[in-house]
Amino acid sequence: MDTSHFFVTGDPMIYGADVSIVLAVVAIVFCLTYFKKWGWIWREWITTVDHKKIGIMYLLAALLMLFRGGVDALLMRAQLAVPNAHFLESEHYNEIFTTHGTIMILFMAMPFMFALFNMVVPLQIGARDVAFPALNAISFWLFFIGAMLFNLSFVIGGSPNAGWLSYPPLSESAFSPGPGQNYWIWGIQISGIGSLATGINFVVTILKMRTPSMRLRDMPLFTWSTLASSIAILGAFPILTVTLAMLTIDRLLGGHFFTSTAGGNPMMYVNLIWMWGHPEVYIVVLPAFGVFSEVVATFSKKRIFGYSSMVFSMIAISVVSYYTWVHHFFTMGAGADVNIVFAICTMIIAIPTGVKVFNWLFTMFRGRVRITQPMLWFYAFVPCFLVGGATGVMLAAAPADYQYHNSYFLIAHFHQVLIGGVVFGYLAGMYYWFPKIFGFKLNDRLGKWGFWLWQIGFYVCFMPQYALGFMGMTRRIYTYNASAGWDMGWAPLNMVSTVGAFLMGIGFIFQVWQIVYSIKHGERDVTGDAWDGRTLEWSIPSPAPVYNFAILPEVKGRDAWWYQKQEMKNGDYQEKPVKYEPIHMPKNTGVPFIMACFFFIAGFGFTFEWMWMGVAGLIGVVVTLFVRSFQYDTDYYIPVEEIERTENEYRNRVLSAQQTAN
């Protein structure tokens, strides 16, 4: 491989990024050394297997990636604000839209989702950790290293530029030589292994680690959504792994899975990648629905309407999502019969989704609705997702799609459901569970500024794009009105859309300010029950102690914590004597991080087609697994004295807060 362009040159923005990266690394190393925190960071974070800390790391990574993906978006919109702009030339723009899509779905939405799974699910089911804590850490570090590898591309070697799904033949060596496309493959491949492991972990956790008295039908809906999503992950990610491997074999070993010569079939890639790709978007949206079920019930002070219907619809969505993939390429000419079947399946999946919206609305009906930050984001979600879902049904009508496909109508639709559904949902979750994880709430005033800027920015950015689709504007063009004699009138709406994008960017800045400000000034959560919640996670301190529950809770039905509080208010509650026992916990381990480092070496090597390095990295991974297999001393016990101390400290804190209040 030609490595004369190892470092990406020629672009002032890239040089600026190089400098920032070096400065940031130097700053981090300096701070860690000066404050003597190397040991701390190794012990407390790099080797942790605690699901709560892993959740925090996932959240930080997701927010960082939201920033990077957002900057990509602003760069694109800046280029498209006026016709024939030369802010970004073609290949640079192509790299940016490719990295924007890949980052937002795979390195922002997935880790944000895993953050919520990790921070919340064990606490909701009365468990002390997930089923496989070390595997959980492996999942995080594989994601981290995959994301690092992918992000490295824009300064070393060059980024991929064939779109976020890299269709062949464009993504084959003949049309996309060089490391860029390989970065895409390996970044996602490594991270995808972590995702699959998380799917396995949470299915087993939810099925086997609930506190003994919690039946499946007592589980909170967020946990149900995690289960549905995790099962979907199990079905979809193996397909992704194989498809990426096949593309690698084509590129690295001269194979012919998807080439147009020697018998390869590019259409097979399109089918396979979307057989993963469609379930993937339901994988990310189901937990957002789970978040809203918790938020709406809590802030309506009412039980969720139609619990069984909600569970059924989530499972239905999870299953039917496997039967819709062809709608991503109705125009690839599969034939009328195939198109009709998939059009109808796609419309069918809108039904359970719509049912959920009704259930949330009728939870609020005859409730007492408080408008808090999480609830605000639910209010934003309802109209946004309804319209986005409707345009989805419009797209499902295959012949209509022949006009919408790959136009700005499509872009507007999927951003509306992904932002309106997934991002708004995860943000609601972040605001809702922030006090549980960090011990303080996020400031309301700054939050409102961020919220309104996001809302206005979103509609100003994306509503014009539906119109642009009707005006015949295709996606993935770096400029328009470029060809002589064609002025299609797209300029004004593009300018408006760009303004909207920047409004959203400013909204995000307010959110970052909000987080930083609240670290010092945010309202502290003393009781652990910041919102007068309904489910078990609110029955323990904030932040939760390392063992979560000193005694495994007894659950008598749904919304167990809420009904226990009612009993305590009425004086019906029978408090039983407390007898602590030593708690069995997993030990920290450096294996996950080390294995991820070997995966990085492998991925980097294969990206540049240095086979020796790639193979060495893979051998390193296998050796790490081998070594781990020999480790038998992996657990320890928390002594009773420590548990007593923690619980008493917490009780005193609550009592003194109550006294101050009185």
Partner 1 sequence: MQQSASAHVSNHDHGHVDQEGLKILGFWIFLVTDCLLFATLFAAYAVLHTHTNGGFTGKEFDKPGFIIETFILLISSFTSGIAVLFMHKGNKKALLGWLIVTAALGAVFVGLEINEFTNMVHEGATISTSAFLTSFFTLVGTHGLHVTVGIFWMIGLMIQLSRKGITNVTKRKISVISLYWHFLDAVWIFILTVVYLMGVM
Partner 2 sequence: MRKWTKLAKYSFLTLLGMVLLAGCDRSKYIVLDPKGPVGHEELRLIIISVILCAVVIIPVIGIFVYIAIRYRDTPDNKAPYQPEWADSKVLEVIWWGIPVVIVAILGVFTAKTTLNLTKPPVKDVKPIVIQVTSLDWKWMFTYPDKKIATVNYAEIPAGVPVQFVLTSSGTMNSFWVPQLGGQEYTMPGMSMGLWLQADKTGEYFGSGANFTGKGFAHMQFRVKSVTQENFNKWADSVKKNSPALTNQGYKNLEKPGLEKELSFSSYPKGLYEDIVNKHGGTYMDHMNHMGDSSSMSDMKKDDKSMSGMDMEHNK
Of 365 and 636, the one with the shorter C-beta distance to partner 1 is 636
Closest to 223 in 3D by CA, of 534, 566, 605, 650: 534
Of 103 and 621, the one with the shorter C-beta distance to partner 1 is 621
253 binds, among partner 1, partner 2, none (CB under 5 to 8 A by kind): partner 1
Choosing from 224, 282, 289, 305, the residue that interacts with partner 2 (CB under 8 A) is 305
Greatest Cα pair distance in the chain = 85
Give the C-alpha separation, 182 to 186, whole Å.
6
Region near partner 2 per CB under 8 A, out of 174-182, 247-255, 282-290, 411-419? 174-182
Choosing from 209, 347, 512, 585, the residue that interacts with partner 2 (CB under 8 A) is 347
**One-character DSSP codes across 381-439:** HHHHHHHHHHHHHHHHSHHHHHHHTTBHHHHHHHHHHIIIIIIHHHHHHHHHHHHHHHS
Least distance in angstroms from the C-beta of 612 to partner 1: 18
Give the C-alpha separation, 532 to 302, whole Å.
12
Least distance in angstroms from the C-beta of 295 to partner 2: 14
204 binds, among partner 2, partner 1, none (CB under 5 to 8 A by kind): partner 1
Give the C-alpha separation, 198 to 116, whole Å.
12
Give the C-alpha separation, 178 to 109, whole Å.
28
Of 134 and 344, the one with the shorter C-beta distance to partner 2 is 344
242 binds, among partner 2, partner 1, none (CB under 5 to 8 A by kind): partner 1
- Looking at residues 133 to 152 of the shown chain, list those that interact with partner 2 (rule: CB under 8 A): none
Strand-pair partners of 474? 407
472 binds, among partner 2, partner 1, none (CB under 5 to 8 A by kind): partner 2
What is the radius of gyration, based on Cα positions, of the chain? 25
3-state secondary structure of 571: coil
Region near partner 2 per CB under 8 A, out of 142-150, 160-168, 238-246, 281-289? 160-168
Of 118 and 259, the one with the shorter C-beta distance to partner 2 is 259
403 binds, among partner 2, partner 1, none (CB under 5 to 8 A by kind): partner 2
- Asked if 477 interacts with partner 2 (CB under 8 A), we say yes
- Asked if 306 interacts with partner 2 (CB under 8 A), we say yes
161 binds, among partner 1, partner 2, none (CB under 5 to 8 A by kind): partner 2
- Asked if 428 interacts with partner 2 (CB under 8 A), we say no
**Dihedral sign from CA coordinates of 234, 238, 243, 245:** positive
262 CB-contact burial (10 Å; exposed 0-12 / middle 13-18 / buried 19+): exposed
Kindly report whether the peptide bond that precedes residue 169 is cis, defined as omega within 30 degrees of 0.
yes
Of 385 and 561, the one with the shorter C-beta distance to partner 1 is 561
Least distance in angstroms from the C-beta of 336 to partner 2: 5
Q: Which residues contact 68 (CB under 8 A, 6 or more apart)?
A: 103, 151
- Asked if 339 interacts with partner 2 (CB under 8 A), we say yes
Give the C-alpha separation, 492 to 473, whole Å.
13
Least distance in angstroms from the C-beta of 370 to partner 2: 5
CB-facing half-sphere around the CA of 518: CA atoms within 13 A = 23
Of 395 and 594, the one with the shorter C-beta distance to partner 2 is 395
- Asked if 261 interacts with partner 2 (CB under 8 A), we say yes
